[in-house]
Structure formats: structure tokens, C-alpha cells
Structure 1
């Protein structure tokens, strides 16, 4: 999830663990704990794009990392906060839950997390977008109210837990909505007599009303969308795999790494002699009235005998157009 959401979650967890003893400092250190796992993005400044992508939501988002770091951070904080007269164990408990709930929440997103690192398994439930106002804003309001309530008061405790219950309840609701929309996509495929090997469903940006689906068939990928306000049948846009054209470059080590990152959901095409790799898990994004691009697209360049990847960045203008288009589409077709 986005940084603000993780800060809010971490703060609420910190309050639940130690708020009755140290007041607002529990919110502060919980927020810090909730931020730490995402420091793995620093890899973008020290290594290549493919390696940085592999690192993101890996080790720092694992149970192992939480168990390893919590005692060290607890001990350090106990030295910095001697006036609180707490031993390292209560601090360690705060940091463990702050660190652990971060990847637990991220596991519900499309990117997922390697929660059980070093096992090479990424958990991705695909039920919530990385930024969802309905999850974050009520939670944030509760945490802000907690800031101004008396330490250890019943009202403070109830308000904090209200935020936790609301956010958790919404998160569980997204799983139910995912199940319902999965059934809708599956029924549409059966009605249209489309044979497929697997389906990937996920909510569109910033909401859980409009859902997207990737469908893999023998020779193509189908992309479809469904809003709970739709009145017309689901339709699918077809993209041929065309694997023969990219057979040679697909054998390259770094391209194989990208394929693995994308969990096999990918397309490749050559434009004016340059190869592009598209990660289909995040679907398409409209950039104007007539053109759509894949959200995650990588330009491949050969250097010193191997291919490197450069992510194609989006512009603020395309993001604004996306929001306008999204608002119109989620209201139904």
C-alpha cells in the first residue's frame, strides 16, 4: 500500500501495543515501524531496474525480517527513550507488530509480498489497489482523533480500535467483492464459450467498484472489466501472445527474470527495432481518448552482451486523464 496508509496502520498498531503507557510516542514509533519495510525502494539508486524490482517487497516484507529487526529496534529505542522506563521487550513488541502488519496488508495488493522469505513464494491476494481512500481515510480520521485524547483513556482506546476494525472490515469486504466479480468474469467466459487456462482479477485504481480481469488462453491474453453498476455484458479485448517473434530474446537471462517477476503474465513487442516488455498484471491505462498503454512497460536495451530494462514513466497529464476516465467507467457501461 502507499506510504500514508502504512504510516496510519503502523501508528494505530503502535497505539494498540503501548499507547496506554507512552501516549502519542506509541503513534510515532508505530508509524516509523510501518514505514521501515518500504525502505527497500532505495535499491533503485544502487542497482539496476530488474534487481531493484526483485528486491522490492522481498526480504524487508517477510516474517523473518520482522522477527529479526524487532529486538534490535526495541533495544535501540529503549536506550533513546530511557525516560519512559521501559525495557527493550515492550518496544520490540511494538516494532514487531508495526513491521509485520505492513507486509500483511501488502499481501492483499496486486504486487504482493514475499511474506515467507527466503521461500520464493509471493503472496498476492489482489483484492485492494495500492491506494484506496475508503481504506485509508476513515482509518486516518480515527488516528488523528486519538492524537488529542488523554493517554490511557477508554475513549482513546475505543477510537483507535474503531479505526482498526473499520479498516480490517473493509479489507475483508474487498475479498468478498473479489469473489463476486471473479464469478461474473467466469460466467461471461462460459457464456462466450471461451476456453482459458487461468484468470487473474483485481480492482482498478483507487476503488473496489470497477474490477479488471486478465484471462490466459492458448494463444492470447484477454483483458476485461466489470463494474457493479454495469448493465451490459462483459466484453474482452484480445492480445495475441506472438511468442514466436520474441523466441530468441526470451532466452536472455534478464528477460527470463522479468518473465518470472510478471508470473508469466506478459507480452513482448518490437517497435522500430526496440523491444518492449509489458507486465500484464496491472493492466492498461488510458492516456487520451484513443490510446491506452500498459501500466508497467519496460524498454529493453542491450549493453555489454546483456539486456537491461528501463521502465516507461507516466506523465501527470496521463494520470489526470486516467482519473476522469475511471470515474466515468466505474459508474457503469
Structure 2
């Protein structure tokens, strides 16, 4: 999730655990700090764009390592504030703040390597977009009111924010399963041989879902709003570049993206370049995580250091379409 959401969640969890045992501002501050720490790996250059993408949310998001770090951070907090008697409570608070960060990230589609060092599997539920105001606003309001109010029951606002935001995550999973059910019904009616099917929310909401389908030689993209009148999904078909993939298979960056994307990728040529895109984040033809993997001569020549050449959608066209499509208008996506 985005940094604001993680800061808000960290503050809310810190305040909920510490309660009135310490000043609320201390719990909120250290919760925000600990809630930010795992994402500092984004500042590390691992050597090239593919490594930077696929090593992000790695060790710094692993539950095992975060658990090991929590007592040290709790000791620092108690030393700073002279609250040694509250060490165990601070330890619990810091630990919960640290581990809820990657658990929240796991709800997005990106891929969070929770189980390192035992497994490097990139977990991703994919039921919530990386920025969703309906998740973040209850946390911000709950924390803000609890800090600003002088009432004795002010922590109830923080608790309410946590409950509402967590309930929204639960709703996102229910909505995702509904979208998946509609997608599978449509594919079955259309006789599509689907190898993999995924439903991810479009930007800032959990009503309009992007359906991504992998077939033996192509990928399909369709959209379904929970407010649509019918249960039919119109799919557009796109070539996946399977021949290009076979030619470049064995090149580490190509294999790495194929693994990290869990097979949701495409390869294509642009001018003399061979590009590879992670299909999970974006929509046709705009993908942030697109990499220049090779140059075309008689055969593709792999690049030693891939380059990120991703593109973002045109917001002037995309946002009006998004708003109208959420409400069930059967509009084709902007291409």
C-alpha cells in the first residue's frame, strides 16, 4: 500500500496497543515510524530495475526478520522516553505495527515475500488497489480525532477507524470473489481455454474489476463492475509474445519477471527493442513495469542490464472512463 496508508495504520495500531499507558502522541509517532521502516528498502539500488522491482518487499517485509527486529526497536523507544517498565507493551506494539505493514501489502497484487528466509514466494491477494481512499480515510480520521480530542473516550475513534478499515479489506475479498465468479462464467460461455484467471480492482475502488486471463498463446483483458446490469464480460485479446519468450528464456531478468509475475506477463517488440511487461499492474497498453530486455538483430540479443521503460495511462481520458465504467456504463477502455 501507499506510504500514507502504512503511516496511518502504524499509528492506529500503536495507539490501540499502548492505550493510555503512555501519551497518545508517542504511540502514534512511533507507530508511524515503525510503519514506514519496511518500505525503506525502496531506497536501495539492487543493481538494475528488475532486481529493484523483485527484491522490493523482500527481507524488509519478512515476518521472521521483522519479529527479530521488534525487541531492539522497542528497547530504543523505551530508552528515549524513559519507559523501561513498559518494555513488554512497547515490544508488542512495535511488533504488531511491523508485521501489519507487510500483511497489508499482501492484500495488493504486487507480491510480498512474507516467508523469507524459508521461502521467497511473492504472496499477493490482489483484492485492493495500492491507493484506496476508502481504506485510508477511516484510519486517518480515527487517529486524528483521537489525538485532537480531550474526551476520555477518544480512543474509541481510533478503534472505530481500525474496525472500519479492516472490514473494508474483508469486503474487498468478497468483491473480488464475486468478480472472479462472473469472469469464470463468461469464459465458460465463450469457450475460452483459460490457463490462469485473475481479478484485480481498478484504481481507487473495489467496484470495478479488471479481469486478466492467460491462454496458451495470448492474454485477455476485460472489465466487470459490481454495478453492471448483466454478468457477461467482454474480453479483448492480445498477443503474449510466446515465441519471443522462448527465444529469451534462460536470461535471468526474463526468468525473474516470469517468476515474480506468476506467469502474468507479455513480451513484444517496439522498434528494435524487445520489451517485457508485468500484466498485473496497469491495463492495456499501459504498464509501469515494462522492461527493455533485448535488442533485435537477426535474433534477440539480451541486454546485460535491463532498462525500465514503463508507461502510465492518460489520466485525462482514463479517469472519466473509470468513473463512468464504475457505475455500469458499458464503455470500451481507453487504448
1: CA distance, partners of 2:288 / 2:324: 19
Over residues 218-260 of structure 1, what are the superposed CA-to-partner deviations in whole Å (9 max), with x where a residue is unaligned?
Answer: 2211111101222353111111233223422233122111211
Q: CA RMSD in A?
A: 2.0
Over residues 21-76 of structure 1, what are the superposed CA-to-partner deviations in whole Å (9 max), with x where a residue is unaligned?
Answer: 112110110111111111110124x5321111122111111111221110111111
Is 1:209 aligned to residue 207 of structure 2? Answer: yes
User: Secondary structure at the residue paired with 1:199?
Assistant: strand
5+ residue gaps in structure 1?
Answer: 286-291
Task: Give TM-score scaled by structure 1 length.
Answer: 0.90
What does residue 244 of structure 1 align with? 243
What does residue 67 of structure 1 align with? 67
What does residue 268 of structure 1 align with? 267
Is 1:231 aligned to residue 212 of structure 2? Answer: no
Task: Give TM-score scaled by structure 2 length.
Answer: 0.90
What does residue 16 of structure 1 align with? 16
What does residue 49 of structure 1 align with? 49
After superposition, residues 20-31 of structure 1 pair within 5 angstroms as 20-22=20-22, 23-31=24-32
User: Secondary structure at the residue paired with 2:98?
Assistant: helix
Stretch of structure 1 that moved more, 233-242 or 96-105:
233-242
What does residue 34 of structure 2 align with? 33
The change in CA–CA distance for 1:321 and 1:19 in structure 2 (over 3 A counts) is farther
Displacement of 1:101: 0.5
Stretch of structure 1 that moved more, 200-209 or 317-326:
317-326
5+ residue gaps in structure 2?
Answer: 296-300, 331-335
1: CA distance, partners of 2:166 / 2:109: 18
User: Secondary structure at the residue paired with 1:41?
Assistant: helix
User: Secondary structure at the residue paired with 2:244?
Assistant: coil
What does residue 175 of structure 1 align with? 173
Give yes or no for contact 1:252–1:306 (8 Å, CA) kept in 2: no
What does residue 298 of structure 1 align with? 291
Give yes or no for contact 2:291–2:310 (8 Å, CA) kept in 1: no
Displacement of 1:271: 1.6
Deviation above 6 Å: which 4+ runs of structure 1?
none
What does residue 110 of structure 1 align with? 109
Stretch of structure 1 that moved more, 263-272 or 159-168:
263-272
Displacement of 1:306: 4.3
